[in-house]
Amino acid sequence: MAPSWVDPVASLAPKPSLKNQPNSGSASKWSAYRHLVPLVNSDGFTYLNASFAPPSNLIVHDAITRYSNDALHSPAPKPEWQRIAEDTRNLIAQYINAGSPDSIALTRDTTEGLNCFIHSLKFEPGDNVVMLDSEHPNHAYAWMALRAAGLEVRQIPTIAEAEKTGVVSAANADTFAPYIDEHTRAIGISSIMFHSGQRNDVAGISATYRPKGIHVLVDLTQQVGFADVDVQALGVSAAAFSLHKGLNCPTGLAALYVDPEVIAAENPTPPIVGYGAIHNARSDLLVPTDPIVYHPSTRRFEHLNVSLVASAAANAFLRFYLNGMGPRNVEEYLFSLGDALRRECQDLGINIVGPASRREHAPHLYILDLHDPRWTEHLVQNQILITPYRLGIRVSFGFYNNFQDVEKLACVLKAGLELKFPAGKI
């Protein structure tokens, strides 16, 4: 249940407006989806924090309840759970256009997936990897840890440039060009940056540098579930992503995709090896002294045990996402919420950080140029959940948000301005 204290700006609650509404049929559909998320539908919260972790929904709740019920009452539920996990792999492969389920390894989180690929690459002392200086720490530290082995990590100084110009730009192949040389082994990048919403030109980066023998490793966590994904069109060497943000699942399940051509050319050795990685494992579980033969696919990076409860939840939500809502429909709907937010912020004189074009910006993630700590306190007091970051306050939408959420946010922002909270840098 929602807290019992009174909304400080209840009198400013937005009246229904027509200016931001989609057509009635579309609105009815998204309104029905909203009813799947009790926290936002009945508890009074305006949840604008999907990029951190979304509130759960009845689809996931039902899947976990069924899993728990099977654990309580079925004498041997594990084979069925394992079958569901394999089906989840198939659904993930279908969603991201992996080409084959064998190109997907189920991992614990994005960090594990990134590290599996990073630590399987062969490099010589003096080789280098290039990434943005604003890359997510889970990605950056995975490369940084290899400096002790002689790998040079080159960080492109985008932060200083953005502070000097006041412009946060999406990265493309030209961004990396001055830092690439004959010793570059890989580029590490997020398709959508968690702190700015910029949508980097991964396809252009891959098309430019992979033919030169440079791998492109992508963190897709802020894209999956929020937008359509096609790893073959992106042309990446590998991609890792968690399912607990846009795909609304519990933590504990993620995926790693590796291009089959990379597996064939590199024959990478998994950094962690168990029974699940071995192609020539014996069914009697004895381990002979024969040479190890890894699976001829991304499955070589997988552990025998994955989170079966998380895979059950993922299976249920992926079916709803792919067959019910549709990735492109979700992406367009989130963009429409973002467009409404941009209009409201323009009217209020509040800047949204980062590129304005859809091609270079996330559909769901928007950074408001608000830095005074009173803004965060003010929003939370009004039951609006957001995350403050270095560049400002991050507002991030999920499929359960609606245009009334945007209007309530605008009302609360207007109240903050009337309280003389500053907009822009302090």
Domain boundary, last residue among 323, 348, 383: 323
343 within domain boundaries: yes
Residues 117 and 89 in one domain: yes
| CATH (domain of 335) | 3.90.1150.10
| CATH (domain of 153) | 3.40.640.10
Distance of CA 168 to the CA centre of its chain: 20
Contacts of 103 (CB under 8 A, 6+ apart): 93, 257, 258, 259, 260, 297, 298
Give the model's pLDDT for residue 6.
Answer: 30
DSSP-assigned letters across all residues of 107-157: ESSHHHHHHHHHTT----TT-EEEEETTS-HHHHHHHHGGGGGT-EEEEE-
Residues 118 and 263 in one domain: yes
Contacts of 75 (CB under 8 A, 6+ apart): none
Residues 308 and 388 in one domain: no
Residues 94 and 173 in one domain: yes
- Confidence check: pLDDT of 19 > 60: no
Give the model's pLDDT for residue 25.
Answer: 56
Q: Which domain holds residue 46?
A: 10-56+326-418
Residues 43 and 145 in one domain: no
Which pairing describes strands 254-258 and 384-385: parallel, antiparallel, or unpaired? Answer: unpaired
Residues 97 and 136 in one domain: yes
Closest CA to 66 of 313, 352, 285: 313
Residues 110 and 204 in one domain: yes
Rounded to two decimals, the pTM is 0.92
Residues 386 and 315 in one domain: no
CA distance linking residue 35 with residue 16, whole number of Å? 18
Residues 281 and 389 in one domain: no
Residue 259 near residue 236 (C-beta atoms within 8 A): yes
Domain boundary, last residue among 277, 304, 323: 323
Domain boundary, last residue among 292, 323, 354: 323
- Confidence check: pLDDT of 287 > 80: yes
- Confidence check: pLDDT of 98 > 70: yes
Burial of 62-98, coded b for 16+ CB within 10 Å and e otherwise, reads ebbeebeeeeeeeeeeeeebeebbebbbebbbebbeb
63 within domain boundaries: no
Number of domains in the chain: 2
Residues 91 and 233 in one domain: yes
Give the model's pLDDT for residue 169.
Answer: 94
Per residue in 27-84, pLDDT (tens digit) is 789 999 999 999 998 778 899 999 999 999 999 999 999 999 999 999 999 999 999 9
Residues 115 and 213 in one domain: yes
Residue 204 near residue 182 (C-beta atoms within 8 A): no
Three-state DSSP state, 293? coil
